[in-house]
Chain A
Amino acid sequence: MSVETSLIRTLIAERFGEAIKELGFSHGVHAFAAPPDMIVELCRFLKEHPALRFDFLSDICGVDHYPEAPRYEAVYHLFSLPNKWRVRIKCRLGDPPRIPSVTGVWRTANWHEREAWDMYGIRFEGHPDLRRIYMWEGFEGFPQRKDFPLRGYKDKLNPFGAEGTPPTQPDLATKDIP
């Protein structure tokens, strides 16, 4: 247990109490679990606290834990340029997955969130421009979900795909993106 781990843990506990759970330190990254509605507040705290200064957002990653419940997860990797520490924040999300956007904290979150939306259908609320990024407009389904077949669904462009149609959910269809 290094000094920095206890420092990060104490500061988070002071500010957020029991809400943020610690998941331990492994392979150079301190991991924490946070409820989705606190993510913006937590990120802003980690970024702006003078002793922590996690000013660099490395990555936002969507995960599908099918068939576990809660099924989805958004994973944030933060890096502190002055201290050279890394932090991972994990948020489990229900179905349909929704989480506030951190684009207000880091502009780089924009494309990471668009990617997670495109691949997993995680809706980042408050994102300024939540469009698909890799797949084309009008593509149905979210290709990296575990129940999406590896070869896609069969249609006239994809004769080797699996039978069936993607399970579209009306409130998550691409058309009603704000």
Chain B
Amino acid sequence: MTEVTELSWPEADAPHTKEVLLNLGPQHPSTHGVLRLVLELDGEYVARVDPHIGYLHRGTEKLAESFTYTQIFPLTDRLDYLCPPSNNLAFAIAVEKLLGIQAPIRAQYIRVLMAELARISGHLMITGALPMDLGAMTALLYAMREREMVMDLMEMISGARMHTSFCRVGGVREDLPDGFFPKIREFCDIFPNRIRDYERLVENNRVFLKRTQGIGVISAEDGIDLGLSGPNLRASGVDWDIRRDEPYEIYDRLAFNVITRDEGDCYARWRCRVEEMRESVRIIEQCLDQMPDGSFQIDMPTIAFPVDKDRVHCSMEALIQHFDLSAYGFKVPKGEVYSAIEAPKGELGFYIISDGSPKPFRMKVRAPSFVNLQALFGVTNARYLADMIAVLGSLDPVMAEVDK
């Protein structure tokens, strides 16, 4: 660690090397998607970095203006595709605030449970991918093994492994399936030991430690100035978690620790996420213990689909309700709302302006990865090109969310 921090910029009287423009990406395994970095190199030092994004721009916000509120859920899935339930949840809460309703308690527990499973799935990706970027392939293979278990649970709940679209305005799509509880309890029993395995894989890996400790330090002031949020900011010592500070859904009934670290380097960001997974398991276990009985869907025929889908085939009213909601959606009162949740990547906010019609007038996504990626400018003591890879990996941007 000390060897790296003691290095200084080339002296002014050192032989001047010509600056070279290097194009990293858009297709490069370490850029985690289609990110292009234009780097100005002075020898092996990075003098300037200019990220070019937009290769995955699908116009989510523009599309949303022509979709009904229920139709937008699949669009939100495709923002941060490692953890779709969190995105669904953020959008559902925003619309529910506009409507002035709340999902039934059981639905809230199911949503939180899924959001925490999603957090584990998202964090597992970086737990394995950062060591892989730095040459330690093994961690990724083990992380994928556990991520497969999470994917299986997602499939069990929703029928889809990745794009679950399980939330609805006023609840979730359906109740938890039979046999789900033993399966997820098994996962909760196994998983904490597996987290220990990842830590042990990396803790004594001198190459990984040398390439992450003391590299890419972001101070707390810089982090706030650059708009970092989530684990990236907590790794710099800022004790802020929206789940605890502005509790949404049933997070105020759950006990969990907010993980912070003081170093603010690549290793701290990685470590923060690994430890957050333990807290997520705790939250899931509490959700399972406290899971109340009741409906998974709000009882409002103007907003929610019929709870019992079979009624659609034998009741005229249910058929009309189903058709109406599918074809025209529901009207949302005029107004505007900004609602943020703690997504795995940070503060995920939805700003929705409604003009009273069944489609949003304007939907803005405050995508945490988009803002976090910008922190590449604020990173200090990442001087070598190879450090850039570590910093990029530790900021954990998902390009689908960056590009919206």
Contacts and interface: CB of A to CB of B under 8 A. Distances in A.
Contacts of A77: 338, 349, 351, 366
B364 A59 contact: yes
Contacts of B97: 27
A15 B362 CA distance: 32
Contacts of A21: none
Given A59-B366, A133-B54, A135-B57, A106 B227 contact: yes
Contact of B374 (A88, A108, A143, A150): A108
Report which residue of B98, B240, B245 has the largest number of chain A beta carbons within 10 angstroms of its beta carbon.
B240
A56 B374 CA distance: 15
Interface string B337-374: 11110000001010101000000001010100011001
Contacts, number: 86
Contact of A108 (B66, B371, B404): B371
B403 interface: yes
A61 B364 contact: yes
Interface in A26-51: 26-29
B143 to A, nearest CB: 30
A58 B246 contact: no
B57 A134 contact: yes
A91 interface: no
B339 A58 contact: no
Interface in B307-356: 335-340, 347, 349, 351, 353
A63 interface: yes
Contacts of A133: 53-54
A144 B62 contact: yes
Given A77-B351, A133-B53, A56 B66 contact: no
Interface in A54-107: 55-59, 61, 63-64, 75, 77, 81, 84, 86, 88, 106-107
B292 interface: no
Highest count of chain A CB atoms <10 Å: which of B57, B224, B227, B335: B227
Interface in B67-123: 97-98
Interface of B: 53-54, 57, 59, 61-63, 66, 97-98, 224-227, 238, 240, 245-246, 335-340, 347, 349, 351, 353, 362, 364, 366, 370-371, 374, 377-378, 403-404
